[in-house]
Structure 1
Amino acid sequence: MDLLKHYVRLHLTAMSAGIDLFGRSEGIEDEEARKLATDVRHQLVEQREALRLVARRIGASEPRLPALAARAGERLGRLKPNGSLVHRTPLTDVVDLEAMHDVACGLVAGWSALQEVDDPRVDGDEVRRLLAQGQDQVERLRDVHRAAARRAFA
């Protein structure tokens, strides 16, 4: 088994589910957090294309079934309790932003791991750029998550 191919396929799957999660950003109450989540979603779409390029270069196929399962899991995650069965509550934003932060952390870990790959098919400069972008996303999502928690628990 080619572990690099498998790893890239796993991260493509996670990235697709993450993009779906960030697609729910229109429901976020706070304008700054909503705009950030929308911006990050656009960046993740670009990052997925960069990862697809890596996949093509190393001969990894696009994961179909795992991607569908991950997306189904993301949709089931929307059923989480937030204190209300019908409406969004301030806790909904806290939990959604927390999940978005977790996705960004996982993607940073992926770019960080790819940075260690010594293979000419993996563009080290591009990976470093995407890693820096991801680290910025993590910091900014952490900040809006904390602000949402302050509002929810005030």
Structure 2
Amino acid sequence: MPGTRPQIRRVRTDLLAIYLNDHLAGSTVGAGRSLFMARSHRDPPYAQPLRHLAGEIAEDRTSLLRIMRSLGVPKRRYKVAASAAAERLGRLKSNGRLFRRSPLTLVIELEFLRLGVKGKELGWRTLRTLAEADGRLDGQELDGLITRAERQLGTLEELRVRAVRDVLLSG
């Protein structure tokens, strides 16, 4: 309508704080699990890519913390502590073996990590959408984080398919 101002939409910081802390909890699990995987798998086709992914996932967690600080979103320590504890407990899961790792563990861990990276990518995409309404969010930085998450997904899928073939095919 002529003479009316467009409605200015603002980011709901109360809900965004919950959202970002949930993603921080997830990134805590992902960083811990990826580091554990990088240390556990020494097979040549897996070792180097897993080490590289673990480093990037840790960097992504640092990026999330920086973004949270720039938005004035406090870190909820109880969520971080609970997620770190859950990740460590997840290492104790039953895998059909009493004293050693099951060959299937690699497939399951890669699938788990891939799900986490997909969630991270969606989180970056959400922030990228909000960057249009909040100048504290750097759209170019978020575009780079989205691109990196997409690359990580590709690497994890390649590793997952290799692990499926190595573990579940005989002969």
Any idea what SS the aligned residue of 2:101 has?
A: coil
Structure 1 residue 33, shift from structure 2 partner: 2.0
RMSD value over aligned CA atoms?
Answer: 1.4
Amino acid at match of 2:141: E
Question: Once structures 1 and 2 are overlaid, which stretch shifts more, 27-36 or 75-84?
Answer: 27-36
Residue type of the partner of 1:45? Answer: A
Unaligned runs of 5+ in 2: 1-12
- Match of residue 32, structure 2, among 8, 20, 30: 20
**Matched residue SS, 1:24:** helix
Tell me by how many angstroms 1:85 deviates. Answer: 1.8
Show the counterpart of 2:147.
132
AA matched with 1:12: L
Mark the structure with the bigger radius of gyration.
Answer: 2
Greater relative CO (CA pairs within 8 A, separation 6+): 1
Q: Partner of 1:32 in structure 2?
A: 45
Q: Measure how far apart 1:114 and its partner are.
A: 1.0
Which consecutive residues of structure 1, in runs of 5 or more, have no partner in the other structure? Answer: none
Counterpart mapping for 1:45-60 below 5 A = 45-60=58-73
**Cα contact 1:82–1:92 (8 A) shared by 2:** yes
Q: Secondary structure at the match of 1:80?
A: coil
* Deviation larger for 43-52 or 63-72: 43-52
Match of 1:4 in 2: 16
Q: Is the CA contact (8 Å cut-off) linking 2:21 and 2:79 kept in structure 1?
A: no
Distance in 2, matches of 1:90 and 1:29, equals: 13
The TM-score normalised by the length of structure 2 is 0.84
Whose helix fraction is larger, Structure 1's or Structure 2's? 1
- What is the alpha-carbon distance in structure 1 between the residues aligned to residue 162 and residue 93 of structure 2? 21
**Separation (CA, whole Å) in 2 of partners of 1:98 and 1:152:** 14
Contact 1:29 / 1:93 at 8 angstroms: preserved in 2?
Answer: no
**Count of residues paired in the alignment:** 154
C-alpha contact (below 8 Å) 1:11/1:107 kept by paired residues: yes
Distance (Å, rounded) in 2 between the aligned partners of 1:80 and 1:108: 27
Distance in 2, Cα, partners of 1:49 & 1:27: 23
